[in-house]
Structure formats: structure tokens, C-alpha cells
Chains A and B, each alone.
Chain A
Amino acid sequence: MKLLQSLLYFLLGSMILKLQCLGQADRLFYDAVRSEAAGDLDQAINLYLKASALSHSANLHGNLANLYFKKEQFGHSILHFRKALLLNPRDTELVANLNFAYEMANLSPPLQNFTNTYFSVNFLSFWIIICVIVFWVGLLILFYLLFFKTSRKPFLYFTTCWILVFSMCFFATNLCLKQKSELGREVISHLPSIENNHSNTISLRRFAGESNSVNTNILPGESLIIQLGNNGTNKSHQIANGNTWYLARSTNGKKKGWIREDEFGWIIDPNS
């Protein structure tokens, strides 16, 4: 009885905490809107960032992206547009804004080809359902033919077709899962807020550390994929001054190098 009571208290407490947290996020959001209306864009950005530390919404990240765009920080802007689109993929306004941000950042938006569209993360659930239907329905028909039909021909034909169709569905699902994995490791490069970078480019270095030579340069807003280490985690290295460096490559794989953690933002933060 006591156990049930304490469990009830715990659930109630966590609910209150959650509501309080959401309430605080709401308050910060509205404060940010007011600051933006008053023309204090920096204050508005700070408030939105504080709210995003508590909770996330498509509108919050959309507004934050807009503010960064107005401040011509296109890297941050693209990052938050991507976050907003992840929360609300059907928002066409966000898509249009993101494309405009890419244009202003002198970058080309990600290519929308057949693979990127129909085997993207958004289609993962679709392909999983198709895969499951094909698998179970096929299996049922297979056993029906095996036990209830005397002729072996339909069984063999059906098995061949079933394996073929299921392989194709499985392949499509696997493509989507690969894109999902890459999305989990995708980051958007941006200029660090503290550093006085006059070149407006971000360097990918040959080795982790600022003193190392530059392998290549990228523009703020470019997408990068963090490479995986041998243990399956993100490949990173912490140097003596405490900065953590990550090994990243561009989405087309042409650029590769080490990037400091404050020079990019995670679309899906692995630590949250």
C-alpha cells in the first residue's frame, strides 16, 4: 500500500514538474516574442535559447531561425530551420524560408532526388509497414500453400516472388534507416559566437587542434556528418585546453576534417 502511495506521489510530482517546466518555456517564449517586437533581437535570441534548453517546438525554432537570419548568421539560421522542420515536416513556409537561407548563405539546398525523397527518414514508417505486411501476409500464404494445396508449383512460384518483393522492401527500409542514422549524426556548421573570424569560413583541420593545418574550408550552414569511431560512437578527441574536436565529412563526402564543437550545432542533440 505504501509502495503504491509513493509511486502515486512520484508520478504526481513528475507531472507537476513537467507542467512547471512547460509553463516556464511558455513564459520564455512569450518574453522573446515581446523582445523581438520591441526590436531587441539579441535579447529575443537569448530567451528563445533558454526556452529551447527546457523544451522544443517547431515555432520556437522557426522564430529563432528567423532572428538569426535577420542578424545574417545564416549557419545558425539554417540549423534552427532544420530543427523546426524535423518537428513539423509539413510546414511549407519553413521549407521556403530554409531554401532562402541557403541561397543567402551561398549554399545549394540538399538535392531532392528520387532516393532522397522516397527513401528519406520521413518514409521510414511507410517502408516498415510495407515490409511487415509483405512479410506476414506472404508467410501466411506460404504456409497455406504448403499445407492446404497439393500442387507444389504455386508454392515455389509464390516463394520466389515473396522473397523478391520482401528483399526489395527490406532494401528500401534499410536505405531509410541509413539516412536516419546519418540524420542522428548530422550537424550544421556555423561561426562560433566568441571568435573573431574574419574569413567567414570554417576550417576542417587535418588533426584535432587549432595549430594543425587546414584540410579544407566550409561555409557556415553547410551540413556535415560526424564520423563514427571503431566503438560505434561519434569520433571525437578532447585536447589539452578542454575543447572537444569531432571528425566530420560533408554530406557528399568530398570534404573531411576535424571541427571544434562550438563551430557546429547538432540537429538532434545526442546529449539531450
Chain B
Amino acid sequence: MKNTYFFHIGLQKVKFILTFVFFSTFLCSVCHAQGQNLRIESSFQPPSITISNNSVYKVIIYGSQENPQGALPQVDALIISNSPQTFRSASFINGVPSVRLEMSFQVKPKKMGKHTIPSWPLKIGSKTLQVPACTLEVLSPNQQDKIRQVAEEKQKADLKQACFIEFTNPRSFLFEGETVSGLISLYIWDRLPVSRIERAPQKDGDAFSLTELGQPQEKRNQTKYNKLYSVFSWPIGLTAAIAGKHQVVFNTAVRVRVKSRGNSPFGSPFFNDPFFGFGREESLNVTSEPQSIEVKSLPTSGRPDSFQGAIGAFSTRSIVDNDRVSLGDPVRLFFEIEGQGNFAAMPAPNFESNSNFKIGPPAFSFEGNELTKHQGKQRFEYILTPLTPGLLKIPAVSFSYFDPVKEKYFISNSQEHPLRVDPGETWIDTTNEDNQVEKETFSIPTTDLFQTENEPGEWVKKIQNKTLLDSPAFWATQCIPFLCVCGLIFYGRKRKRTGRDIFRQKQSALKKQMKEAIEYKDSTLFYRATRERLRLEIGTFYKHTNPSSLSSNELTTLLKRGLNEDSVISQIQEILHISDSYEFAETENERQSLDSLFRKINNLLKKIR
């Protein structure tokens, strides 16, 4: 056991010594190998490819592992990557230590043929060596390449349909300097996982100028190519700058989430993947189809002298803020141009000073779509200072423009405005003498204005701000209406208690019933209400305890007891009789107008004594 232990200890020591010796020898040999003769080799792997494949350009440096310095020559027919993969190795070959550095460049051919990378210098430490020339043979594509190419094209087409730009131009040709309002629409397929639009679309080419793009209008669920899209639209103002036939192209970039690449250097999607294996973001460039627009030069024939580049369809108007001023006072003249056209490129119409007016440069203001500046109202505000008094005329403002639809020049003159200019006050030079005079004249009006009162007038003990509210008499007088109100309340309450109010309520209800019966020509209801009303009014008049219980005979007796005329009694009897007939016999003996009967009853009841 003891021997085994020592044996074990001894074995470990031997292992340690052997490892130490090996590494020391290796390091010595590496150091020794660094000093060996330097040699460079270059090759393509594979040396012959078809045009759709890639090759690797390898540069191997023997005898050194130092980082070399040099510039790889460019070959037109080849695309060579700038970032090579490097590999360092050390080995024993036939007992001789050897070190080497290997650099691999990805190469993609552009065209077929034999392409040679010429010999080029490479500096390693203090020595400069030549990398030997190397040739890559690029062959014509085979069947597999063609299939792949078709697949790639199809993929490209699909990708194009997934996200594309459309530019809508309302006109087939434009005139130089003309502005049209267009629309740039970015279509994004709903299944394309776009996280954001990196930038608003940009125009390629200098033949047109574009107005600033604002926030896009977003429309969802738009159908095109049997797909659902989200459409982002930017209204623009496109101005033709150079005559000729030009193409206009718009491009933008969108951020798209894509699946993680399989060739991760660590073999795991969680490295270099912002979505931890679910995908990563990539920028996708989107370009519109090139649209060819012809830009014509403006016709020179018939061009007015006052034409300054306004192109469109316009109407003009001029307004003056005042028609009568004093000499030297400014007047504002507003010249308004309304319509569709190149407002952004429109200078102010020429309106120059003359012997009557001094005219300043105008102020601009635009009402309308500030982004496209294609449709709206441009206002120029001129400040005119009259130089002479009298009845003057503000001259007309001349504005000429070219109508691109009618293809003609037009001149629009504003109307002349009459202006009355008063002479105003003369300016007096303030010299010392004049000051003296002024002082003298100043003293005169004050004595004239401020006459001294010789009598003191009515004296008051205090200057007080007394009002009616401070007066006791005012509050005392309030007792009168207060007592009136109290009296009214007292009387009203008493009246309610005696039942007169109930009588009036019943009376008005029966009157209302009668009126309704007249309106609907309901004789039965009318006579019923009449009988009730006669009972109520006659019974109450003669202070009967229960008027509603009175019969027709009892009512006649009550009437006879009073000082009533016989004609009144007989008429009431007659009405009661008719009412009874309607109520009990339902016969209609005599037909007469209910309205006239109603008036008759009212008169009869007033005659009751």
C-alpha cells in the first residue's frame, strides 16, 4: 500500500516534469520557428467555380504569426471581402518546428472568365514580401445555378410585393417650374413583421424638387395583389426643375424582424441575437418603380414682362385697409392670390414706389397646406406711405402667371383704389424762440379753462360715498311692500280654507269640460257638464250645503226664491230639461249650436240674483 502510494506520487511528478519539458520545448521551437525563413503562398479554394458560387482567396504566411500589413489589390470582375478570417497554427514537420498564419478572403465573381489577383506586397515585421499572383476561373452557370437564380428572382419579386412604394402623379407631363401635388404611398404587407419605418421616402435625382414630408396618413387593411396592406401616404408637392425627360424614384428603409442566422459562431441563437432566439432586426431598402416624367420648357411666345415664374390657375384680389389718411400715415394694401400652383416658388409681384407713394417690401403669409404649398391663398402685404396730399389713386398690382392646363399666359391686374390724403399738421421746429412762444400760449388756455369759483357752494361735512342702502328711510319704506305681501299671504290662506278656491277649481274644470265638448262636438258630455255647472253655481250662490245633490226642480225653486226674472228662470229650466233628456232619455229634442249655448249659459249665470 505504501509502495503504491509512493508509486502514485512518483507518477504524478513524472507527468508534471514531462508536461513542463514538452511545453518548454514547444515554446522554444516556436521561438525558433519565428526566426525561420519567411514564405508566402496564395491560392483560390476552389480554383474554379460557376458564376453563382463563391470562392475563398487564401494567403498563407509560413514562418511568422505576426499581423501582416498590406493592401489587397482590387480586381474589377471580383468582389473581395475586406474582413478576412485569420488562422494561426504551429506544428512539427519531420521534427522541424513550423508556424504559419492563414488569411481567408471571401470572393464573389461578377462575370465569367479567368480573373487574376496580381502579385502584391505584404509587410511582416520588418520584412516586405510579395504575395504571388493567383487566378480564379469562373465558369458559365450550370442547371442548378439557373434554378437557384429563378428561385432568387421569385423571392425578390415576393419581397417586392411585401413592401413597395407607389408614387401618384396627376399629370403626364410638367412644365419647368410647375408644381403638382402628388402622393407617395408606402405599402407594407400585413404579414411582414415591420417594427418601424426608418425614414420618410427620399427622392433620387435632381430634376425635381420635393416639398418637406410631414407625418404620414395611415390606412389599414388595404387590398392589393390579393394581399392586405397597411398604407402610409405622404402628400407632396413636386416641382419640375430641369427641362427634359427625367425619371423620378423614391426610396425608403424599413426595419424588419427576421429569423436568426443558423451560422452563429457559437452555434447558439442566443448569442448576437437581440430577441434571444426568436429573431433579429434587419434594414430593408424599399424603392419605387422608376417613373418617367417629361418636363417641358415654358413657351417664350406671349410671355408677359411681369411674369416671374408663377405657374398654376389663380384668381387675385386687392384690399386697402383705409381710404382716408393724413399725409405720412401708412396705408396697407393686401394683394391676395388664390388657387392652385407653385406657391412655394412664387415671388411677390413688382410694386414699386412712385411720386405719390413710397412702397416698402411686402410681407408674405400663406393660408393652406403648408407642406405641399400647392393649393391655398398667398397674401402679400404692402405698406404704402403717401407722399403728397390730395385725392390719390393707389396703382393696380400686375400679376401674370402661366396656366399649365390651358398652356397660356394670363395677366391679372388688381383694381385701383382711391385714397384721400389729408394735409395733416405742419411740423414746427422747436427752437428756443418758439419755446418761448409756446410757454406764453400755454399759460393762456389754462387761465381760460380753469375759472375760479367765487362762491363756496353747498358745504358738506364729509365727502361720503353714501348710497340708498345706507339710508334708514329706504329700509323703512320696505315695510310697505312687506306688509302687502304678508296681507296677501294671509288673505290667500284664509280664502283657501273657506273653500272658495275649491268652488273656483270645480267651476274652471267644468268650463274646461264644456269647451272640450264643444271642440269634439260631444253633446252628451256638454249637457252633463252644463247640468253640473248650473247645480254648482246656483247652489253655491244660494249657499246650499250640497249643491251637487240638487235636482232640476230644486234648482228652479232656488231661483224663484231669489230676485230673478222669469225669462232667466225659464231659460235655465229649458237648459236643464234638455240636459235631463240627454242624460236619461238619450234623445235629442232640439239641435242648436253648443257654442252659442255655452255663451248663453254664461250670460244667464251672470244674471242670477
**A residues in contact (CB < 8 Å) with B:** 18, 22, 25-26, 29-30, 33, 36-37, 51, 55-60, 62-63, 65-66, 69-70, 83, 86-88, 93, 96-97, 100, 121, 124-125, 128-129, 132, 136-137, 139-140, 143-144, 146-148, 150-151, 180, 183-184, 267-269, 272
Contacts and interface: CB of A to CB of B under 8 A. Distances in A.
Given A140-B488, A147-B496, A87 B463 contact: yes
Contact of B449 (A30, A87, A97, A183): A97
Nearest to B508: A150
B127 interface: no
Interface string B429-469: 00000000000000000110111111111111111110111
Contacts of A51: 456
Contact of A57 (B447, B460, B478): B460
Contact of B463 (A65, A86, A137): A86
B485 A143 contact: yes
Given A22-B459, A125-B468, A128-B474, 18 more contacts: A25-B456, A37-B452, A55-B460, A56-B463, A57-B456, A59-B457, A65-B450, A66-B452, A69-B446, A70-B450, A87-B460, A88-B457, A144-B488, A147-B492, A150-B504, A180-B465, A180-B467, A267-B463
Interface string B33-45: 0000000000000
B481 interface: yes
B552 to A, nearest CB: 28
Contacts of B489: 143, 147
B468 A129 contact: yes
Contact of A150 (B462, B484, B491, B505): B505
Q: Which of A58, A100, A144, A272 has the most CB of B within 10 A?
A: A58
Interface residues of B, number: 39
Contacts of B449: 96-97, 100
Contact of B465 (A60, A97, A184): A184
A128 B469 contact: yes
Contacts of A144: 488, 492
A59 B456 contact: yes
Interface centre among A137, A143, A180 (most CB of B within 10 A): A143
A188 to B, nearest CB: 13
Contacts of B457: 57-60, 88
A60 B456 contact: yes
A55 B467 contact: no
A263 B549 CA distance: 91
Given A29-B456, A69-B446, A147 B493 contact: yes
A37 to B, nearest CB: 8
24 contacts: A18-B461, A25-B459, A26-B456, A26-B459, A33-B452, A36-B452, A51-B456, A56-B460, A57-B460, A59-B453, A59-B456, A63-B452, A69-B446, A87-B463, A124-B468, A132-B481, A136-B482, A136-B485, A140-B484, A144-B492, A147-B491, A147-B492, A147-B501, A272-B462
Contacts of A268: 463-465
A30 B485 CA distance: 55
A26 B456 CA distance: 7
B600 interface: no
A101 B482 CA distance: 49
B393 interface: no
Contacts of A69: 446, 450
A93 B501 CA distance: 64
Contacts of B491: 147
A146 B492 contact: yes
B495 interface: yes
Contact of B459 (A56, A93, A148): A56
Contact of A140 (B446, B464, B481): B481
Interface in B472-504: 474, 478, 481-482, 484-485, 488-489, 491-493, 495-496, 501, 504
Interface string B184-218: 00000000000000000000000000000000000
Given A143-B485, A147-B493, A57 B467 contact: no
